[in-house]
Amino acid sequence: MQLFGYKHSRPPEPGEPVEPLAEVTLCATSAELRLIAQFLLDAARDMDAMGAAYSHEHLSDKQKGFDDSPHLVIFGSPPNTY
């Protein structure tokens, strides 16, 4: 597993490289954690079903209530850029 991201204060420009992260801290309610857990399980199922064709999924696209949250994106392979 690898973690990538960028600072909240400045979203990346298209094609800009993402930064590898050493740590991620989630500040969430238990209800939000359950929704995130379901999103991760669903993404794993999709990844298994699609194999190499799997690209990525956004939490905010799959679970209501995360539209104004930081983006949680699951990639099948590490992204080079956004």
In a domain, 59, yes or no: yes
Q: How many domains does the chain have?
A: 1
Q: How far apart are CA 31 and CA 58, in angstroms?
A: 18
Q: pTM of the entire structure?
A: 0.80
Strands (E), the chain: 4-5, 19-20, 56-58, 73-75
What's the CA gap between 1 and 15, in Å, rounded?
A: 22
58: containing domain: 4-75
Distances in Å between the Cα of 48 and the Cα atoms of 8, 41, 78 are 31, 11, 16
21 or 12: which carries more pLDDT confidence?
21
In a domain, 43, yes or no: yes
Cα 37 off chain centre by: 12
For residue 50, tell me if it sits in a domain.
Answer: yes
pLDDT tens digits, 18-64: 788 899 999 999 999 999 999 999 999 999 999 989 999 999 999 98
Give residue 18's pLDDT.
Answer: 79
